């Protein structure tokens, strides 16, 4: 089976391919010559994931999936949430995003947070959604050079190190995206 992953994020693409192995061939937007920016104007992760998968499905008439991921911090009333990628500005700069979070968290002891991923899959015109959540906390400083996005400031429950300090195999056992992808993969194996 071949599916388009509706993302321009090469880190996500690599992570998904690593998780699915050779069970399902994952094709990128570049592979189908989709070069335009895909709309993300929803107010929830679910809306954004669906908006992206519908866009690719309708424009290219191809089975696909899209995800949207957000970091939700209790002390910030769920921020950055659906705005995680642009939290520090329209440049989508991970360092600016992390600096804004760390600045806002300076005066709070409640560091509880979670990463949440929602995947929208469209096969033959029918949509299904899958969610993965990993609970954790926000560190006081950045640490680690692996991973991407907010990984250097997110410490998953049960660990003493950030996502950016875990090797990819360890991260893929527990990450929000891995949990959502495992649900997606199980669903796809059932319909094969």
Residues annotated catalytic, as ranges: 68
- Taking the C-alpha atoms of residue 111 and residue 166, their distance in angstroms, rounded to an integer, is 20
Nearest to 141 by CA among 156, 131, 153, 132: 153
């Amino acid at each position: 089976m071949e599916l388009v992953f509706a993302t321009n994020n090469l880190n996500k693409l690599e992570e998904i391919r690593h998780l699915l192995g050779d069970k399902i061939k994952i094709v990128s937007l570049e592979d189908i010559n989709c070069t335009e920016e895909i709309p993300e104007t929803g107010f929830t992760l679910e809306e954004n994931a669906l908006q992206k998968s519908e866009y690719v499905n309708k424009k290219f008439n191809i089975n696909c999936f899209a995800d949207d991921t957000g970091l939700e911090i209790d002390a910030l009333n769920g921020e950055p949430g659906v705005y995680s990628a642009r939290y520090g500005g329209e440049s989508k700069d991970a360092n600016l995003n992390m600096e804004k979070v760390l600045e806002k968290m300076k005066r709070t002891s409640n560091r509880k947070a979670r990463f949440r991923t929602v995947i929208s899959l469209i096969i033959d015109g029918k949509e299904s959604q899958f969610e993965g959540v990993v609970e954790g906390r926000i560190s006081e400083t950045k640490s680690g050079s692996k991973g991407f996005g907010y990984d250097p400031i997110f410490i998953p429950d049960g660990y003493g190190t950030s996502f950016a300090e875990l090797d990819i195999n360890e991260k893929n056992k527990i990450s929000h995206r891995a949990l959502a992808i495992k649900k997606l993969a199980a669903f796809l194996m059932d319909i094969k």
